[in-house]
Amino acid sequence: MMTRRAFALGALAQLRTKPNILLIVTDDQGWWDLGIHGNSVIETPALDKLGAASVRFNRFYVSPVCAPTRASLMTGRHYLRTGVYNTRFGGDTMHAGEITIAEVLKKAGYKTALFGKWHLGRYAKYHPLRRGFGEALTFSQGHLERYTHPDQLNWNRTPVEARGHISDVIADSARSYLLANRGRPYFCYVAFNAPHTPLYAPDAYAERYLKKGLSYSDAHMYGMVSHMDAAIGRLLEAVDDNTIVLFMSDNGGVSKHFTVGLRGFKASAFEGGVRSPLFVRGQNFRPRTVNAVTAHIDIFPTLCELAGAEIPRDRKIDGVSFAKHLRGESPADPNRRVFHIWDRFAPSLRSNALGIGGQRYKWVRGQLFDLENDPAEKVDISAKEPTIAAGLRKELEEWFADVTKGQVFEPVPIEVGRDDENPVEVQASWAAISEGATYTFLGYDWDSVEKLGVAKWKLDVVRPGLYDVRVSYALAAEAGDAAIAIRIGGAEVTARIAPSAGPNVFAVATMGRARLPKGPCVMEARATKPEVAINRIWLQRT
Ligand SMILES: [Ca+2]
């Protein structure tokens, strides 16, 4: 009979042999933005080297945009099941009840960390530290205002100053983590935000491509990729042999200089919008290419299998493990389907990006393509193959009904009065707006509501009491003075406001105090003039 000590040592040995996992995700890097994928202009030596040593997936699919892919990556589930339905306006919030890959790996004995973009919830309740990550140097929004400004990140929920280009900050922090945790089983998720807009590559990197005649935007995008490639090279030096390294992007490409003949870009259901590189390097995986269709939802079950972690059984996990493709030749599943859907406000079967694909045929908004013979999606064969087209469409409709069942596609209530988030900053663009109000995309890290009219937010007061209300607003001088009224549940505060220093320059008005009872309520903001824009409201428990 095994003694308790022998058992404990056995468990320890097993823990030690578990592979480390490094998951690298880039942002808006297209399938074609890699030397190893045939782009002879872009310089990606570290990624090319990694790719050559990896199992490379030629048909790996992600969602057309950021947050949906991240939700699927974290949960193994179609994003519409997870609460995510948008990349902003609050639709980038993953339900608190979702189980992340970090949580299951943590349970299996892994140390977990995130470095970089989270984009699955901006409030404390949804922070990576509450989603299974032991450590996190992160930011919540889809894109940063600037690439080199020091005040954009939080380290374990504390704002920190981090100088340098953000790609270097992310890679070098992750590198320190990898070096400090060698020999442990760790799961390190490194989520770069390059080459997403705003376009900013360090000068030497951008110049390299401007000299080659690329457009300003492509030169900066390529420069950002090459600069990030160097950072990834430093990161890869810090892992040992017992580490599985995965590299992928979060949606299709944006750069236009070279597209390897693929159709469509980010936000589209065509191949250019949804096909991502995927390299998986591991001690026991022989480098080769895999043509079987796989998707972001497969990463979760694959990592569970490789790490010996338990897959949650209380919910539908949509992905299937592709570990068999890592271990050797394995046939593609002819019944595999990947689903593509994306719409800015609410998903529907009329969405602009809508498609379903299998190993050979792909249906995109009424058109049918034979990807084996027409990877560029040039020839619509729906009239020639009506049965295949109708069958795929039917599968897509059934899938849509299933993944949207019981889901509400509007912002979750914002919790007010939490000890760990006081004051709470109510993001203006989470509002439901009416009476002519509009959202503006001008601000990179904060969207505003302009021509205020009426804006309404759903709140959930977790601690009753007296709250100070302040508002950040902009008002052009020509408009003269105005007034703002904010009603929260039964309480109302008002303030007269003077013009701010310009229509896009925000000033802060102190609105007064409101007594808020516990529980859900609606907050409503109105202004006396349409020139008033607001970009955030603070509610602070006194
Ligand atoms: Ca993206």
Cα 195 to ligand 1 centroid, rounded to whole Å: 9
pLDDT in tens, 45-94: 999 999 999 999 999 999 999 999 999 999 999 999 999 998 888 899 99
Question: Quick one: which of 514, 462, 470 has its CA closest to 125?
Answer: 462
The C-alpha torsion from 307 through 310 and 315 to 321, rounded to 10°, is 40
* DSSP secondary structure string for all residues of 468-535: EEEEEEE--GGG--EEEEEEETTEEEEEEE---SBTTB-EEEEEEEEEE-SEEEEEEEEESSTT-EEE
CA of residue 235 to ligand 1 center, whole Å: 21
CA of 323 to the centre of ligand 1 (A): 26
| pLDDT number for residue 428 | 84
Ion ligand 1 residues within 5 Å by Cβ: 27-28, 66, 250-251
Q: Exposed e or buried b for every residue in 315-324, given b needs 16+ CB within 10 A?
A: eebbbbbbbe
Confidence at 452, pLDDT banded by 50, 70, 90 = low
Is the confidence at residue 440, as pLDDT, over 90? no
pLDDT at position 222, please?
A: 98
What domains are defined for the chain? 20-327 (3.40.720.10), 338-404 (3.30.1120), 414-541 (2.60.120.260)
What is the tens place of the pLDDT at every residue in 288-324? 999 999 999 999 999 999 999 999 999 999 999 999 9
Average pLDDT score over residue span 332-356 = 93
Q: Apex CA 426: angle with CA 420 and CA 428, to 5°?
A: 160
Q: DSSP assignment of 89-100, as one string?
A: TTTT---TTPPP
Judge whether residue 103 has pLDDT over 90: yes
What is the CA(309)–ligand 1 centre distance, in A?
28
Percent of the chain with pLDDT over 70: 93
> How far apart are alpha carbons 248 and 254 in whole angstroms?
15
pLDDT of residue 4 exceeding 60, the answer is no
Following DSSP, what letter does each residue of 318-371 receive, concatenated?
A: -----HHHHHS-----TT--EEEEE-SSS--TT-SEEEEE-SSEEEETTEEEET
Considering only residues 455 and 397, tell me which one the structure prediction assigns the higher pLDDT: 397
pLDDT at 339 over 90: yes
* pLDDT computed for residue 149 by the predictor: 81
Residue 520: the pLDDT is: 97
* DSSP codes, 278-289: EEEE-TT---EE
CA of 53 to the centre of ligand 1 (A): 26
Q: How far is the CA of 146 from the centre of ligand 1 (A)?
A: 16
Q: Supply the mean pLDDT for the chain.
A: 93
Ligand 1 centroid vs 49 CA: distance in angstroms? 24
Per-residue model confidence (pLDDT) at position 14: 55
Q: Pick the residue with more confidence: 206 or 145?
A: 206
Lowest mean pLDDT among 20-34, 77-91, 435-449: 435-449
Cα-based distances in Å from 55 to 52, 245, 278, 287, 454: 8, 10, 8, 5, 54
**Cα(194) to centroid(ligand 1), Å:** 9
pLDDT at 504: 75
List pLDDT tens digits, range 497-542. Answer: 999 988 778 899 999 999 999 999 999 999 998 888 888 899 999 9
Distance from Cα 317 to the centre of ligand 1, integer Å: 23
| Proportion of the chain above pLDDT 90, given as a percent | 80
- What is the reported pLDDT for 87? 87
pTM: 0.94
DSSP 286-310: --EEE-S-EEGGGHHHHHHHHHTPP
The rounded Å distance from CA 25 to ligand 1 centre is: 10
Each residue's pLDDT tens digit, 246-280: 999 999 999 999 999 999 999 999 999 999 999 99
Chain centroid, CA 243 distance in Å: 24
Please give the distance, rounded to the nearest whole angstrom, from the Cα atom of residue 85 to the centre of ligand 1. 14
Report how far residue 45's alpha carbon sits from residue 282's, in angstroms, rounded to the nearest whole number. Answer: 19
Burial class (CB in 10 A: 0-12, 13-18, 19+), 38: exposed
pLDDT of res. 1? 44
More confident residue, 434 or 103: 103
CA of 121 relative to ligand 1 center, distance in Å: 15
